Structures are given as structure tokens and as C-alpha cells.
Amino acid sequence: MNTKIAYISIILFFSGFVSFAQKINIKKAFEHAEKQTSLMLQEIEQVKKSAKTGLVSPRTLENGELKLVASKDWTSGFFPGELWYLYEYNQQTKWLDEAKKFTANIEKEKTNGTTHDMGFKVYCSVGNGYRLTHDAHYRDVLIQSAKTLSTRFNPKTGVIRSWDHNRDKWVNPVIIDNMMNLELLFEATKLTGDSSFYRIAVSHANTTMKNHFRADYSSYHVVDYDPQTGAVLKRGTHQGYSDESAWARGQAWALYGYTMCYRYTKDPAYLSQAEHVANFILNHPNMPADLVPYYDFNAPGIPDEPRDASAAAVIASGLYELSAYSKQGKFFSGKADKMLYSLTTKYTAPAGSAKGFILLHSTGSKPGNSEIDVPLSYADYYYLEALLRKKNLQK
């Protein structure tokens, strides 16, 4: 008996040394994602038959039903992007064909100047399509989209205006999420040689770095600017718990955004900003042991608050990229491994369930009482991106 206990103890002792990196089975995770996405394609067909026309991409489950959105919705580009990631992983024509089909639905957004979400919509879909196919048509769509996004830049504020809605609340609102749209602008300069896109992106990133962050490197969600003087009128939140709290996905956008800005500019200020934000997130006392954050780091009911798997997916993907640039690389990639391991083992939908979404337990807007503890297409998109980044880092 004693020998048996000793034997088990030795096994348990050594299994502790198997890192999360070794435990993540990327092949299995992609097999699950492919099965779920095949189901999603069938579910989309069903909804399209019965719903009004013009709905193109899945966003979430609403009362258990699949919710599709029109191309103008900020989330429309994520599902096409997932299809590109599946194609990138397995190179199967089936996924290429689906990716092309769903990406075609988004293209008309290239002239929609009523929102800042151009990067989310067009870069995640068409941008990935161009990266993987070099189709000249996609190139043209990206350039037109960057031109349209640039019309929302105001040289007096130095930033791209985010929203046009809720004019009674804000004059010229900018949300931290907007950092994500800069990737499209940086790419447009690479494609055209026209540096105006690059300069707008840098101005937006610098102004946001100055005005959006607190001393501890947590980020406000919304900053409102005077469009004439560029003065900050107020700082607050829309989807977080309170104006002074740290909304989890906002911190994720900041981390990913400044890491991406460093990729294009090699400006050490952006690297340092990304590292500070990452350390704020990873060392936060309210970060749960599995590293999948509550929807807000300051939510008052923690630990009985909803998690946000989408924030974890964005953070994990951002950390993998940051790990390649930073002196803290090992620390960051280790934490990303742990997040990805948690998402893969505890947050994925059982095969054949959730209408084909991959991850469960995300939160869209708790204060808006909307999309709480549900699957979200952007959680799935950044989860697949994180898996691919992990795979590439292993190479």
C-alpha cells in the first residue's frame, strides 16, 4: 500500500512540472472548432430562411436562439475571420470557400463612415482574406475602408471619433476599443505608401495614451473630447461597472492595441504601455485563478459576477504577440498558455451544442443587461487567433 502511495505521489509530483503550454492540444482544439463551425453554418442557413434579409453573420445566442446581424453591426467581421483562421490552420478548400462567401457580405461596409468599427468589421474579414490570398480585390476594399475610417479623424482632437449615437451624453466620444481599428490604417500605409493613414493611427494612439489611462495603467472606457479645442470634457464608462472601474474587455483592447502599434512602429513607448497594461491585468487581485476575468475587475459582487471569456481570448492573443517583443516574454506567454488552457478545458461548448459557437461564458454589456454569460463571435475569433499564435510561437 505504502509503495502504491509513494508511486502515485511521484507521478503527481512530476505532473506538476508539465506546463500549461504542453497541456494545450491545439490539434484537438481546432478539431472541436471545425465541428462547431460546421454546425454553425447549418444553423445560419436555418435562420436565414426564416429571418428578414440582410442578416449576414452570427453574433450571439439570445434566449437560446442564434442571433444574426447585418454587415453594419460591429461584430459582422468576426465569423468570416474565424473561417479564414480555420482555412489558415488546415488549408482545406471547404473553409476557403466559406471564408470568401462570408467575407463578400462585409465588403459594402468600406464606404460606411458612420462608425469607427471599420477595423473590426473589415480588417478581421477582408484583412485576413488579403493576408492569406493576396487577392487584389481585397486590397482595394482595405484601402477604401481606411479612407472612409480616416474621415472620422479630427486634427484638433488628434483622435478618430468612435460613436455618433447618444449625442445627449457625449460630444466627441472615443472608446478604448478604437485602438483595434488602427491596424487597418497601418496596413493601408503599407499597401499604398501613403503615410497619412499611419500618421492618423499614431496620433490616435498617442492621444489615447495621454488621456485614457489612470496612474495604475488601467483604462477608462470612454473619453469625451471638445472637437474645437481637443480638451478632455469627461471620462467614464459605457459597458463597465462604473466610470472609475476597469472594464475587463477594455483592458484587453488596450493591451492588444498597443502591442499591435509596437509591431508597426517599433516605438518603445507603445511596448512599455502594453507591458504596463499586461501587468495591471495579470497582477490584479481580482483576477481569478483560471485567468478568465470577471466582466469588470472592480465589479462589486465578485466572485458572483459573470466572467468574460471574450476578454480572456483577446488578452491571450495579445500576450502571445507581446511575449515576442518583451523582456517579460516568458511571463507573458506562460500566462497566455494558462488562459488558453482554461478556455479550452472549461469554457468550450460541448460538441454539437450552443448552435455551433466555440466558447461559452462571455459578457457583452452587464450594465446594459445585454449578452450576459453567453457565447459571442468575437470570443471565438480571438480564441482561434490565440491558438494560431501559440502554434506559430512553438515553431
In the complex with ligand GLY, the residue whose CB is nearer, 105 or 115, is: 115
Given a contact cutoff of 8 angstroms between Cβ atoms, the answer to whether 106 and 72 are in contact is no
Rounded to a whole number of angstroms, the minimum distance from the CB of residue 277 to ligand GLY is 16
Q: Is the dihedral of CA 152, 114, 237, 304 positive or negative?
A: negative
Rounded to a whole number of angstroms, the minimum distance from the CB of residue 116 to ligand GLY is 9
Q: What residues numbered 314-343 form the site for ligand GLY, per CB under 6 A?
A: none
Rounded to a whole number of angstroms, the minimum distance from the CB of residue 250 to ligand GLY is 7
The 24-43 site mask, x for binding ligand GLY (CB under 6 A), equals: --------------------
Q: Which residue is nearest to ligand GLY (CB)?
A: 177
Task: Provide the 3-class DSSP secondary structure of residue 173.
Answer: strand
Q: How many CB atoms lie within 10 A of CB 97?
A: 12
d(CA 87, CA 90): 5
Given a contact cutoff of 8 angstroms between Cβ atoms, the answer to whether 75 and 57 are in contact is yes
Which of 110, 116, 249, 335: binder of ligand GLY (CB under 6 A)? 249
Rounded to a whole number of angstroms, the minimum distance from the CB of residue 182 to ligand GLY is 14
Residue 239 as a binder of ligand GLY (CB under 6 A): the answer is yes
* Axis crossing angle, helix 248-265 with helix 182-192, rounded to the nearest 10: 20
Q: Which three cell numbers stand for residue 151?
A: 474621415
Positions annotated as catalytic residues are 117, 177
| One-letter amino acid for residue 395 of the chain | K
d(CA 187, CA 128): 11
In the complex with ligand GLY, the residue whose CB is nearer, 308 or 337, is: 308
The 41-60 site mask, x for binding ligand GLY (CB under 6 A), equals: --------------------
Distance from the first to the final alpha carbon of the chain: 44
| One-letter amino acid for residue 123 of the chain | Y
Residue 105 as a binder of ligand GLY (CB under 6 A): the answer is no
Rounded to a whole number of angstroms, the minimum distance from the CB of residue 330 to ligand GLY is 29
Rounded to a whole number of angstroms, the minimum distance from the CB of residue 242 to ligand GLY is 17
| One-letter amino acid for residue 116 of the chain | H
Task: Provide the 3-class DSSP secondary structure of residue 226.
Answer: coil
d(CA 278, CA 271): 10
Residue 366 as a binder of ligand GLY (CB under 6 A): the answer is no
In the complex with ligand GLY, the residue whose CB is nearer, 147 or 366, is: 366
Residue 177 as a binder of ligand GLY (CB under 6 A): the answer is yes
DSSP per residue, 103-168? HHTTGGGGG--S-STHIIIIIIIIIHHHHHH--HHHHHHHHHHHHHHHTTEETTTTEE----S-TT
Which of 48, 74, 232, 276: binder of ligand GLY (CB under 6 A)? 74
Rounded to a whole number of angstroms, the minimum distance from the CB of residue 249 to ligand GLY is 5
d(CA 103, CA 97): 10
In the complex with ligand GLY, the residue whose CB is nearer, 236 or 329, is: 236
In the complex with ligand GLY, the residue whose CB is nearer, 93 or 369, is: 369
d(CA 369, CA 348): 23
In the complex with ligand GLY, the residue whose CB is nearer, 124 or 126, is: 124
Residue among 115, 112, 235, 258 at smallest CA distance from 179: 258
Residue 367 as a binder of ligand GLY (CB under 6 A): the answer is no
The 129-168 site mask, x for binding ligand GLY (CB under 6 A), equals: ----------------------------------------
User: What number of chain residues touch ligand GLY (CB under 6 A)?
Assistant: 5
In the complex with ligand GLY, the residue whose CB is nearer, 29 or 106, is: 106
Given a contact cutoff of 8 angstroms between Cβ atoms, the answer to whether 164 and 152 are in contact is no
What residues make contact with ligand GLY under the rule CB under 6 A? 74, 177, 239, 249, 364
